[in-house]
Amino acid sequence: MRHILSKSTFLYGTQCPKRLYFNKFRRDLRVEISANQQAVFDRGTSVGQLARDLFPGGIDASPETPFEYQKSVIFTKELIDQGAKIIYEAAFQYQGVLAAVDILVKRNGKWKAYEVKSSTSVKEVNILDAALQYHVITKSGIELADIFIVHLNNEYVRKKELVIEELFFMDSVKDEAIEHQSFVKNKIAELKLIIESKKEPTIDIGSHCFDPYSCDFMHHCWKHVPEPSVFSISGLRSNKKFELYENGILRFEDLPADIVLNEYQSMQIESHLNGKTHIDKASVRNFLGEFSYPLYFMDFESFQPAVPLYIKSRPYQQIAFQYSLHYKKNK
């Protein structure tokens, strides 16, 4: 039977039930994935593939397509029954909830799970991720001796060849996963009801739209927000912006006269309301007056590979790959 929830949709629903609903019933509203976002996904995939070298010789249980995970669940069980010791993308399903773990390893008769992340630390969302995996795997009859988040070591410096064991850290999160079990069970029940009801949850916009990740349905939920709005005020704290919004203050024209803003925020709002551009000519002159000729204008492009490609480089180190230098001799 096809699953009702997966690890990703569980996390969607935990962030915002409306995101889960849209993902299930209104995918037409989803914004197209940008090239930058796709690059992030691809990076995570490549890091996950590389981490397999920590436990070489495993069997890949990945499905041929994302729509064939039931085959992966069956194949995983067959591998375990046949005595496999290392399984990549091991898949389990319990009461309609699907979870796949990047690496499942059996050593000394005990199973351990390893979930790989391309980040350089363990985040709260990773703990929730692991908690759901722990729930589904253990309820499927596999006793987990431990569960780890595998992430990049940002202090690792590459020498001639990559040393995989030094590139990655493995942090046990079993205790945290167990602590979250009550939350996971209750949240699963809640999210199943949302899917079964087929009714869009009534939830307004809020900080959850960005936490832990920007929602891919934001453009739909935020379509009533004009441009500019209180969310456009430069440097204003996020909680203050939502406080204004929740009090019915959305446009610059709606701002109360006694609102406390700094000089630049006030300038921004006044410029918009008056339709006039503000240029501090004296400050511009003073700034330009500090330069002396000849002048050099340098521009460069860089990238930050998750896995260090060059000797003496670290994960996510900014590396320039092209530059231009423009020269102006005199006025």
- Helix (H, G, I), strand (E, B), or coil: what is residue 305? coil
Q: Give the pLDDT score at 67.
A: 81
Q: Give the pLDDT score at 43.
A: 74
Determine the average pLDDT of the residues in 135-158.
Answer: 97
Determine the average pLDDT of the residues in 227-245.
Answer: 96
Q: Give the pLDDT score at 102.
A: 97
Cα gap 296→91, rounded to integer Å: 57
Task: Say if CB 113 and CB 101 are below 8 A apart.
Answer: yes
Q: Is 208 exposed, middle or buried (0-12, 13-18, 19+ CB in 10 A)?
A: middle
Strand partners, 327: 296
Cα gap 148→219, rounded to integer Å: 35
The Cβ of residue 199 has, within 10 Å, a number of other Cβ atoms equal to: 10
pLDDT bucket at 262, cuts 50 / 70 / 90: very high
Q: Is 12 exposed, middle or buried (0-12, 13-18, 19+ CB in 10 A)?
A: buried
Contacts of residue 69, Cβ cutoff 8 Å, sequence gap at least 6: 3, 6, 63, 91, 93, 98, 100
Q: Is 253 exposed, middle or buried (0-12, 13-18, 19+ CB in 10 A)?
A: exposed
Task: Say if CB 42 and CB 91 are below 8 A apart.
Answer: no
The Cβ of residue 239 has, within 10 Å, a number of other Cβ atoms equal to: 9
Is the pLDDT at 33 greater than 80, yes or no?
no
Is the pLDDT at 296 greater than 90, yes or no?
yes
Q: Give the pLDDT score at 32.
A: 83
Q: Where are the beta strands (DSSP E) in the chain?
A: 59-60, 86-94, 97-107, 110-116, 144-152, 168-172, 295-303, 319-328
pLDDT bucket at 2, cuts 50 / 70 / 90: confident
Determine the average pLDDT of the residues in 68-79.
Answer: 95
Is the pLDDT at 37 greater than 90, yes or no?
no
Is the pLDDT at 156 greater than 90, yes or no?
yes
Task: Say if CB 55 and CB 111 are below 8 A apart.
Answer: no
Query: Which of the 8 DSSP states describes residue 38?
Result: H
Is the pLDDT at 26 greater than 90, yes or no?
yes
Q: Give the pLDDT score at 34.
A: 75
Share of the chain above pLDDT 70, in %: 100
pLDDT bucket at 260, cuts 50 / 70 / 90: very high
Is the pLDDT at 287 greater than 90, yes or no?
yes
| C-alpha angle 36-41-43 in degrees, rounded to nearest 5 | 90
Arithmetic mean of pLDDT over the chain: 94
Q: Which residue has the tokens 């699963």?
A: 188
Determine the average pLDDT of the residues in 64-76.
Answer: 91
Tell me the per-residue pLDDT of 132-142, one tens digit each, with 9 for 90 and over.
999 999 999 99
Lowest mean pLDDT among 167-171, 192-196, 205-209, 288-292: 288-292
- Helix (H, G, I), strand (E, B), or coil: what is residue 5? strand
Is the pLDDT at 35 greater than 80, yes or no?
no
Determine the average pLDDT of the residues in 3-32.
Answer: 95
Using a cut of 0.85, tell me whether the model's pTM lies above it.
yes
